Structure 1
Amino acid sequence: MTVHPLISLAFDGSGIDGSLFTAGTDLARDTRWLNTPLEVWTNAGLGVFAVLMLVGWWKARRRDTPAMTLALAAPVAVVLSFAIAEIVKKVVAEVRPCYSLPHDYFVDACPARSDYAFPSGHSTVAAATVAALWLLDRRLAVIAAIFALFEGFTRVYLGAHYPHDVLGAALLALPVAYLTSRLLGHAAVPLVTRLRAGVLRPLLAVPPRGPEASWQ
């Protein structure tokens, strides 16, 4: 593969953990029967994190206003983490492994040269979901963490990212999402209190059960 001259101006991350990356792609080469399932999962699996946030919102409808505020803050924290990761990606400009290690085995097609590698966007979403849910529901956060680890593994297995791309995504997303959720969890309580008393009440709260239940 001939490397475009502009690529030499971008960061080559293969010197950091290229051998570990190659071990992952060698595994993919030796388990070709897993290639397609994991290629489908790596994108479809992001839906799991959306579902977990929806579950958090659904459960928060029966909890107090601070809990609902955290539930609504979770997707905001994830989106903000992803946006920051995209900015970092442009600044670092690390070329994808398929350009730096063209002789490795790759399941994923090589993306455009302008689609940089560090940090992993998929792993950013996964890690941010873990951090946001940690403040809302620890059990959901643990489930998200398990799927986040698997998501990170698939990114290396498919040849889309180096291990440090995945680790960097986690180191960026965890504090950003946690702090965003924590700040919104306090600052937005008055707003959510008003919303729970207005036309959005059916989406944000459920009435108590029992013969004397009322929407007071």
Structure 2
Amino acid sequence: MTALPVEGDGSIDWTLVSHVNGLARDLPAPVDSALGFLGEYGVPLLSVLMLLATWVWARRRPDAPGAVAGVLWAGVAAGTALMLNVPVRALVRRPRPFVAHPGQLDLLRSHQANGSFASDHATFTMAVAVGILLVNRRYGLIAMALAGFEGFLRVFMGVHYPTDVIGGYALGTATTLLLAPIAMALLVPLAHSAARGPLAPLVRAPRRGRGARSAPVPAPAGADGRDGVRANRDDLAA
């Protein structure tokens, strides 16, 4: 195994990192701290919250088991992509920008000097976004925007090159899409089975209101339904 060559001062990757990270020098320290927190923890957490919001929506769908299975796959795909990135990092062994260019970047948060390619954060957020997009387009586009913002922040923080982010996006997308047919073939029957057991509330939202407690036999009704109600009352009086 050989490491990727260190990005020289004239490379596009390094030029982009230095320019994007240079924006941090012109911002107030509290803003840098807030953006650093978002890039490390905040945006991934928002991606998880988007996953939960999609699950809440999926439970209310008429095809709830299938939709919930899709949401479950989005989460599993993100974890799978992160595991696949472990051997990728070990194989590539690319130094991070702040390691290859010590003292030349404004590092917003202290970071471990491990492999830079591919970005775990980009991999995770994109895998979640693509998985959600397969289930709900609107939520998926929001999650995509979060993944794009996360990629920018990782470069802004000085901990990744742009190609590290692109590699993470590619890994997250490929994992989610390529394994989806196999995963859904397993998860959809599992969700249907869970919907018939004690785990049913996790798959299908309980119905609320009077209609959920009883299922009255419909009475003949006019256009507005009042004739049917009056007929039922007349039958009871008789």
Greater RCO, 1 or 2 (C-alpha within 8 Å, sep 6+)? 1
Query: Corresponding residue for 1:145?
Result: 144
Match of 2:25 among 19, 22, 29: 29
| 1:186 positional shift | 2.8
Residues 65-101 of structure 1: CA distance to partner in whole angstroms, max 9, x if unpaired?
2111111111101100111112211110001111211
| 1:107 positional shift | 2.1
Aligned ranges 1:5-24 → 2 under 5 Å: 10-15=3-8, 16=11, 17-24=13-20
| 1:204 positional shift | 1.3
Aligned length: 207
CA distance in 2, matches of 1:47, 1:182: 27
| 1:29 positional shift | 1.8
**Contact 2:36–2:109, Cα closer than 8 Å, also in 1:** no
Q: Which runs of 5+ in 2 are unaligned?
A: 215-238
Query: Corresponding residue for 1:87?
Result: 87
| 1:179 positional shift | 2.7
Q: Which runs of 5+ in 1 are unaligned?
A: 1-8
SS at match of 2:122: helix
State the one-letter code of the partner of 1:200: L
State the one-letter code of the partner of 2:131: A
**Contact 2:109–2:157, Cα closer than 8 Å, also in 1:** no
User: What value does the CA root-mean-square deviation take over the aligned residues?
Assistant: 2.1
CA distance in 2, matches of 1:117, 1:185: 32
Closer, same or farther in 2 for the Cα pair 1:182/1:139, shift >3 Å? farther
**Contact 1:117–1:161, Cα closer than 8 Å, also in 2:** yes
Q: Which moved more, 1:116-125 or 1:15-24?
A: 15-24
CA distance in 2, matches of 1:32, 1:10: 36
Bigger radius of gyration among the two: 2
SS at match of 2:132: helix
State the one-letter code of the partner of 1:176: T
CA distance in 2, matches of 1:176, 1:214: 43
Aligned ranges 1:116-195 → 2 under 5 Å: 116-195=115-194
Aligned ranges 1:52-67 → 2 under 5 Å: 52-63=50-61, 64=63, 65-67=65-67
CA distance in 1, matches of 2:6, 2:166: 13
